[in-house]
């Protein structure tokens, strides 16, 4: 037989496009349309429904950027349509772009009840099936004219559209046709039949019979269609396809668990307020689809988004609650938002699960076993322990498929964290969290699945996402045809828990991946939007202080504990850790609001801290210094305050007043020497020596200088705010020109100017610590540049430690393999640490996350190894925020030679939890909680969330070794201490901790985190 394959395939494509799809709505009549546009921000629904309107015709421009318009559409069903299925087709002016990135709307009934959302792939509203004829119809549409930031067709182009303040007022969309139409279900089903078979054919082998069987059936179906009477002949065409659609899947076919999904970024190319409405539109769509499709299951994560529905759209919330109770609308993941997991601190990462899981428990009585993070930009190595401690045991992710250098070797595996905790993890081989149920996607999932031969099933999150939208009736129809179809994977709608149970049962001993799940892409999210990152770090630190001192004051003085305030503030901070806010990849509007929010929260938290400390100190003039850090310093106990130690802090916080005075250095510059460390700053303002006097050891590599600012061009191939490509390192300049070098009090001041920017630094050495403090202020006005702060160290280190949640992770300094080479930019929290046996150097910070560490061997007689640590300070990408990072930024770093890993931990906390001075009457405030081993760090002291008054203490082993410690708390009821999960519930399988002398004895494995609940006597 002649090969006419391409002829039939081309025929199918044209006939579908030009004849069959248009025949889905064979008859239509226009609706009358009126419009009212809000003059500012969105208004309440009642106001939108009551607003005065004016007529608007198809083809009329509407909608300023970020504006809201209310359309009223009215009409009457023609009497001659009686007995037929009728729906409204409502085109707001949709473009070919994906849903969620353009105009969209929410339809309300005449009584103001939400009906469903509108987007370009879901623009219908059902009138009746069948209709009686003559029915009046009336709907209101709350339409958002959100601008398309890539409307010019050029991605990543700088645009002012990312903030209402700069977007202008040009109308964005042209109203399409609003009409009532007859819906021909037979033709629609023919479209689905042909699309499924047409998409499946190219995925089948040319030398297999199944492909040709489908091709011939499609040819016969197209012959059966009378192009002049598609509606009258559609059933005949379907009959020709019935046989090939009825052939069942092979028993060995890959099994796909489809779950309805609409990944909704809590902010990204739209502000938070718009996400509130996106959630309402999508949830309305999905509850409507659930009513029409009995097999369909939809999953939505992010407790924050459910909370928005409850607060802002109670009618939609009621529908969601009913669907959840029916088991059809599934709360997934158990986190407050789908957060970044690299940068949130230990407690913040824990609280994501505390607040997310508690919301689902309180509102729905549901607790999930899985964490649901399809789009997060890599996963920190401390996360498995946190997931387990929250009462979960599974993880779903997708983003690792975006890695550009190495292909991840598994799709189903056990992931092991830094403490040894393992969680069952699935990474869908469909390589998308926005699966559209196409033949190409499902065939790719089956081919791509790496566990063939030992496992048979994967999950496919199905629906339009990022900007929302969700699953469509077309996707459900395609899934039904592929429930069992020869040549295709077998598809079944299932909730995530059902998939995971089956996947674990068939694959009880999967391979293990140890350590972080590093995304080989989007590395610059560790640096972009420095103001947002500083706001996050400061908020985390202030929350630590606020909980500590409010708890101490409540126990010691009976002061009221600020439950509501702390709960609200935590949730706000957690929201801003969403994986496009904290990473710095959102529009200008989002980051402007984030900076404002962080400033407001800081004021509230400072008030809580000050009030608690005032209650503890009393009214008086005696000087007390409060130490919030989990380690004693300068005579002040951890979590306590001392008047006797105040003299050591005189003149400033944390030893600034006790800093040594700089003396002139031969050859220019200054020397700082406190008997522990001698630091030499040359005439360029660079640190050319940091000498550990006791160890007789130099920290700075010979002939090199630390505190070296380095500037690189930064123009990635795409994803400007997200990416830094490896070639940035090919070109760079050292900023060594100094505008001013002087002594300011006990510090050396260094001023530099470069480009359109200026840098001012203060370098100081406290009198009693082996630590060089570097305070940097940058007035940054560069574009597409990357600023680094370099420390070339005379240390031969094959690996280095970077703090992560509840511990630290080790990474190689070499590039033996492509996996190591790909980690050329990575994340740390408060410290980095490099060492040789017996001697190391820590570099701590108060606000930065991105860094790189490289090694080189020096030439000449020395032939030593230089390990260079560089902190990433600032970037200047122009998309999606063209003004990213412009303005003044402040950073605090410290170089700590001769450090142990314990010193790194301690100094990291010191830099982030500065001492506070309060005048009062008491001589000291004893710590509420004490730990007798510095390797065991207190990460939280608080009152129990159930408001029963119990004390909750969370500790972890911070050095990476075994540790035994006694945790003592003032006034707890002996004999009643219990180990709990993160939600402060007793662990069913845990022994009661051993108590001794009013304390609890713990024996911890490396990096183990433990939560203690201590009832008060």
What amino acid positions are annotated as catalytic residues? 375
Q: Report helix angle 209-224 to 5-15, nearest 10.
A: 50
Give the distance between the most distant pair of CA atoms in the chain: 102
Compute the C-alpha angle 493/494/498, nearest 5°: 160
Hey, is 683 helix, strand or coil?
coil
Spatial contact of 336 and 574, defined as CB atoms under 8 Å apart: yes
Structure tokens at 888: 């003044």
Torsion of CA 855, 860, 863, 864, to 10 degrees: -60
d(CA 940, CA 921): 27
Structure tokens at 468: 């929302």
d(CA 761, CA 794): 24
Specify the length of the chain in residues: 1017
Residue 397's beta-bridge partner residues? 373
Q: Report helix angle 530-557 to 346-364, nearest 10.
A: 70
Write the DSSP string, 689-730: EEEETTTTEE-BPTT--BSEEEEEE---SS-TTT---GGGGG
d(CA 8, CA 374): 38
Residue 73's beta-bridge partner residues? 33, 139
Residues in Cβ contact with 217 at an 8 Å cutoff, skipping those fewer than 6 apart: 197, 240, 241, 243, 244
The count of C-alpha atoms lying within 13 angstroms of the C-alpha of 387, restricted to the half-sphere facing its C-beta, is 29
Torsion of CA 155, 156, 161, 166, to 10 degrees: -150
d(CA 136, CA 76): 4
d(CA 349, CA 386): 8
Structure tokens at 832: 């980095």
**Cis peptide upstream of residue 330 (ω within 30 degrees of 0):** no
Residues in Cβ contact with 2 at an 8 Å cutoff, skipping those fewer than 6 apart: none
Hey, is 297 helix, strand or coil?
coil
Q: Is 746 left (phi over 0), alpha (psi -120 to 50) or beta?
A: alpha
- Residue 413 φ/ψ, nearest 5 degrees: -160, 170
Structure tokens at 862: 């020395």
d(CA 423, CA 161): 42
Structure tokens at 5: 């394959």
d(CA 920, CA 136): 75
Strands 255-260 and 457-462 come out as parallel
Q: Please tell me what DSSP assigns to residue 18.
A: I
d(CA 416, CA 419): 8
Decide: residue 277, CB within 10 A, 0-12 exposed, 13-18 middle, 19+ buried.
Answer: buried
What is the H or E stretch that residue 1009 is in? strand 1009-1014
Strand order in the sheet with 708-713: 733-734, 708-713, 785-793, 865-874, 850-857, 826-827
Nearest CA-CA partner of 786 in 696, 711, 677: 711
Hey, is 270 helix, strand or coil?
coil
Residue 891's beta-bridge partner residues? 776
- Alpha-helix runs per DSSP H in 104-203: 185-200
């Amino acid at each position: 037989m002649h090969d006419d394959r391409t002829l039939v395939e081309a025929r199918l494509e044209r006939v579908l496009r030009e004849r069959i799809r248009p025949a889905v709505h064979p008859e239509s009549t226009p609706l009358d349309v009126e419009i009212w546009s809000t003059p500012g921000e969105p208004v309440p629904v009642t106001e939108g429904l009551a607003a005065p309107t004016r007529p608007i015709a198809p083809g009329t421009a509407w909608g300023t950027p970020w504006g809201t318009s209310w359309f009223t559409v009215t009409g009457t069903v023609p009497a001659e349509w009686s007995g037929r299925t009728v729906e409204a087709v409502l085109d707001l002016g949709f473009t070919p772009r994906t849903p969620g990135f353009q105009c969209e709307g929410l339809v309300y009934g005449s009584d103001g009840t939400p009906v469903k959302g509108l987007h370009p792939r879901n623009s219908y509203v059902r009138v009746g099936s069948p209709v009686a004829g003559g029915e009046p119809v009336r709907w209101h549409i709350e339409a958002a004219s959100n601008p398309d930031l890539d409307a010019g067709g050029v991605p990543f182009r700088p645009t002012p559209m990312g903030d209402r303040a700069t977007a202008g007022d040009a109308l964005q969309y042209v109203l399409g046709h609003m009409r009532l139409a007859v819906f021909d279900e037979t033709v629609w089903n023919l479209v689905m039949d042909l699309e499924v078979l047409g998409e499946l054919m190219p995925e089948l082998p040319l030398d297999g019979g199944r492909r040709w069987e489908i091709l011939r059936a499609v040819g016969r179906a197209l012959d059966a269609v009378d192009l002049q009477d598609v509606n009258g002949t559609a059933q005949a065409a379907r009959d020709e396809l019935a046989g090939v659609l009825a052939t069942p899947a092979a028993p060995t076919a890959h099994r796909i668990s489809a779950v309805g999904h609409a990944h909704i970024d809590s902010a990204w190319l739209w502000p938070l307020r718009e996400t509130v409405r996106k959630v309402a539109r999508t949830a309305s769509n999905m509850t409507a689809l659930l009513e029409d499709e009995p097999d369909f299951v939809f999953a939505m994560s992010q407790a924050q988004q459910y909370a928005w529905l409850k607060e802002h759209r109670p009618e939609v919330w009621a529908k969601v609650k009913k669907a959840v109770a029916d088991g059809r609308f599934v709360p997934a993941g158990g986190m407050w938002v789908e957060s970044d997991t690299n940068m949130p601190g230990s407690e913040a990462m824990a609280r994501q699960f505390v607040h997310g899981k508690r919301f689902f428990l309180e509102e729905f009585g549901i607790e999930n076993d899985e964490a649901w993070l399809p789009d997060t930009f890599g996963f920190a190595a401390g996360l498995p322990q946190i997931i387990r401690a929250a009462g979960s045991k599974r993880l779903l992710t997708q983003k690792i498929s975006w890695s550009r250098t190495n292909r991840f070797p598994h799709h189903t595996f056990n992931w092991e964290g830094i403490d040894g905790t393992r969680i069952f993890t699935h990474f869908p081989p469909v390589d998308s969290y926005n699966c559209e149920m196409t033949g190409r996607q499902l065939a790719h999932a089956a081919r791509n699945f790496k566990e063939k031969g030992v496992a048979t099933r994967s999950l496919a999150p199905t629906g339009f996402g990022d900007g929302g939208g969700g699953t469509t009736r077309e996707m459900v129809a395609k899934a039904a045809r592929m429930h069992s179809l020869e040549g295709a994977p077998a598809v079944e709608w299932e909730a995530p828990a059902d998939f995971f149970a089956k996947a674990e049962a068939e694959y009880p001993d999967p391979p293990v991946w140890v350590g972080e799940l590093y995304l080989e892409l989007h590395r610059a999210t560790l640096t972009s939007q420095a103001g947002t990152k500083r706001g996050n770090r400061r908020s985390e630190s202030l929350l630590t202080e606020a909980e500590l001192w409010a708890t101490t004051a409540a126990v010691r003085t009976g002061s009221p504990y600020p439950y509501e305030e702390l709960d609200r503030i935590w949730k706000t901070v957690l929201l801003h850790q969403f994986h496009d806010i904290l990473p710095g990849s959102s529009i200008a509007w989002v980051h402007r609001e984030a900076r404002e929010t962080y400033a407001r929260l800081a004021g509230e938290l400072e008030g809580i801290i000050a009030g608690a400390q005032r209650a503890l100190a009393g009214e008086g003039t005696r000087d007390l210094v409060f130490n919030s850090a989990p380690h004693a310093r300068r005579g002040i106990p951890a979590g306590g305050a001392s008047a006797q130690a105040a003299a050591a802090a005189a003149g400033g916080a944390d030893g600034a007043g006790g800093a040594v005075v700089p003396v002139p250095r031969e050859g220019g510059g200054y020397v700082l020497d406190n008997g522990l460390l001698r630091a030499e700053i040359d005439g360029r303002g660079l640190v050319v020596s940091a000498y550990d006097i006791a160890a007789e050891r130099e920290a700075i590599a010979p002939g090199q200088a630390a505190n070296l600012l380095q500037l690189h061009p930064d123009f990635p191939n795409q994803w400007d705010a997200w990416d830094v490509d490896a070639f940035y390192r090919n070109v760079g300049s050292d900023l060594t020109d100094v505008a001013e070098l002087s002594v300011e009090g006990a510090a050396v001041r260094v001023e530099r100017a470069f480009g359109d920017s200026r840098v001012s630094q203060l370098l100081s050495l406290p009198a009693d610590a082996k630590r060089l403090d570097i305070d940097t202020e940058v007035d940054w006005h560069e574009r597409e540049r990357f600023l680094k702060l370099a420390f070339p160290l005379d240390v031969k280190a094959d690996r280095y430690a970077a703090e992560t949640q509840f511990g630290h992770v080790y990474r190689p300094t070499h590039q033996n393999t492509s996996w190591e080479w790909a980690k050329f930019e990575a994340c740390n929290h408060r410290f980095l640490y490099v060492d040789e046996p017996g001697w190391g150097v820590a570099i701590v910070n108060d606000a930065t996350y991105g860094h790189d560490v490289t090694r080189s061997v020096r030439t000449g007689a020395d032939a030593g190894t230089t390990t260079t640590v560089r902190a990433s300070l600032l970037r200047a990408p122009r998309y999606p925020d063209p003004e990213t990072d412009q303005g003044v930024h402040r950073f605090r770093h410290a170089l700590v030679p001769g450090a142990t890993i314990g010193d790194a931990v301690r100094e990291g906390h010191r830099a982030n939890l500065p001492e506070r001075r309060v005048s009062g009457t008491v001589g000291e405030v004893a710590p509420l909680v004490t730990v007798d081993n510095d390797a065991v760090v207190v990460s939280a002291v608080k009152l129990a969330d159930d408001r029963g008054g119990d004390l909750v203490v969370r500790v972890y082993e911070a050095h990476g070794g075994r540790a035994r410690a006694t945790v003592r708390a003032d006034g707890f009821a002996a004999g009643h201490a219990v180990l709990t999960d993160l939600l402060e519930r007793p662990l069913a399988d845990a022994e009661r901790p051993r108590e001794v002398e009013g304390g609890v004895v713990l024996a911890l494995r490396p990096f183990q985190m433990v939560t203690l609940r201590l009832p008060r006597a």
